[in-house]
Amino acid sequence: MPPKINPLRLNKLQSRTLALAQVLANDPGSSRRDDVSGEVTLTNLPRPHGDHVHVGEYVVASRDASGFANPAVWVVLARKGLTRTDPMGVTLTPDGLNYDTGLSDRFAKASDH
């Protein structure tokens, strides 16, 4: 039996935010990886400009990235053990990095913008 997608029952905004954070975690210009703990700290959360935001090599509609600016989203993700926040920024735990949101196919092609 394949693993269940979204076993922690994240809502759409939480899932989108985590999926985009996972993209940033794979971008060396936006993150710092700790090889000992397996965690990745996001050093640069993107800011929307106009109707879009640049997330790593992708261009995403601003409405899809609205969770970055919503503290309640980060609280829920931290409570579920997927992230933690501190003065240095947002850190994805190994569970957060590996969590299957079911949205990875939305980032299959990089933008030319």
Q: pLDDT tens digit string along 66-90?
A: 999 999 999 999 999 999 988 778 9
* CB-neighbour burial class of residue 10 (10 A; exposed 0-12, middle 13-18, buried 19+): buried
- CA dihedral of 79, 80, 86, 92, whole degrees rounded to 10: -170
Question: Which CATH class for the 12-101 domain?
Answer: mainly alpha
Domain parsing of the chain, residue ranges: 12-101
This prediction's pTM: 0.89
Q: How high is the pLDDT of residue 67?
A: 93
3-state secondary structure of 35: coil
Local confidence band at 108 (pLDDT 50, 70, 90 cut-offs): very low
